Amino acid sequence: MVYFVLVHGLCHGGWCWYKVKPLLESAGHRVTAVDLAASGINMAKIDEVHTMADYTEPLIELMDSLPPGEKVTLVGHSLGGFSLALAMDKFPQKISAAVFLTALMPDWTHPPSYVMDQFMKGMSAAFWLDTKLSSGLDPVKPKSTVLFGRKCLASNIYQLSPSKDLALAEMLMRFGSMFHDDLSNAKAFSEVGYGSVNRVYILCNKDLTIREDFQRWMIENNPVKEVMEIEDADHMPMMSKPNETSDLRPCATPSSLASLSLLPTLPAACLPA
Query: Between residues 123 and 250, which one has the greater pLDDT?
Result: 123
The band of 255, judged by pLDDT with boundaries at 50, 70 and 90, is: very low
Q: Is the pLDDT of residue 141 over 70?
A: no
**Core vs surface per residue 155-187: b (16+ CB within 10 A) or e:** ebbbbbbeeebbebbeeebbbbbbbbbbbeebe
The band of 37, judged by pLDDT with boundaries at 50, 70 and 90, is: very high
Instruction: Tell me the catalytic residues.
Output: 78, 207, 235
pLDDT value for 139: 62
DSSP 225: S
Q: Report which of 141, 137, 133 is spatially closest to residue 117, judged by C-alpha positions.
A: 141
Say if CB 71 and CB 272 are below 8 A apart.
yes
The band of 249, judged by pLDDT with boundaries at 50, 70 and 90, is: low
For residue 81, what are the CA distances in angstroms to 126, 151, 257? 24, 25, 20
Least confident of 61-75, 128-142, 230-244: 128-142
Question: Could you give the domains of the chain?
Answer: 3-120+183-270 (3.40.50.1820)
User: What global pTM score does this model have?
Assistant: 0.90
As a whole-number percent, the residues of the chain with pLDDT over 70 amount to 87
pLDDT value for 134: 85
pLDDT value for 266: 41
The band of 135, judged by pLDDT with boundaries at 50, 70 and 90, is: low
pLDDT digit string, tens, across residues 52-99 = 999 999 999 999 999 999 999 999 999 999 999 999 999 999 999 999
Q: Report which of 37, 40, 38 is spatially closest to residue 21, judged by C-alpha positions.
A: 40
